[in-house]
Amino acid sequence: MPPTLATTADTWRPQRRPSPTRAPTKQIAHSLFVSVRTVESHVRSALAKLGFSTRTELALWVRHRSRG
Q: What is the pLDDT of residues 37-47, one digit of tens each?
A: 999 999 999 99
User: What's this model's pTM, rounded to 2 decimal places?
Assistant: 0.63
Q: What is the pLDDT of residue 8?
A: 47
Q: What is the pLDDT of residue 46?
A: 92
Contacts of 31 (CB under 8 A, 6+ apart): 11, 18, 23
Provide, rounded to the nearest whole percent, the portion of the chain with pLDDT above 70: 68
The contacts found for 49-56 with CB under 8 angstroms, 24 or more apart, are: 55/20, 55/21, 56/21
Give CA–CA dist 9/16, Å, rounded.
11
Q: Are 43 and 52 in contact (CB under 8 A)?
A: no
- In tens, the pLDDT along 15-38 reads 455 555 578 899 989 999 999 999
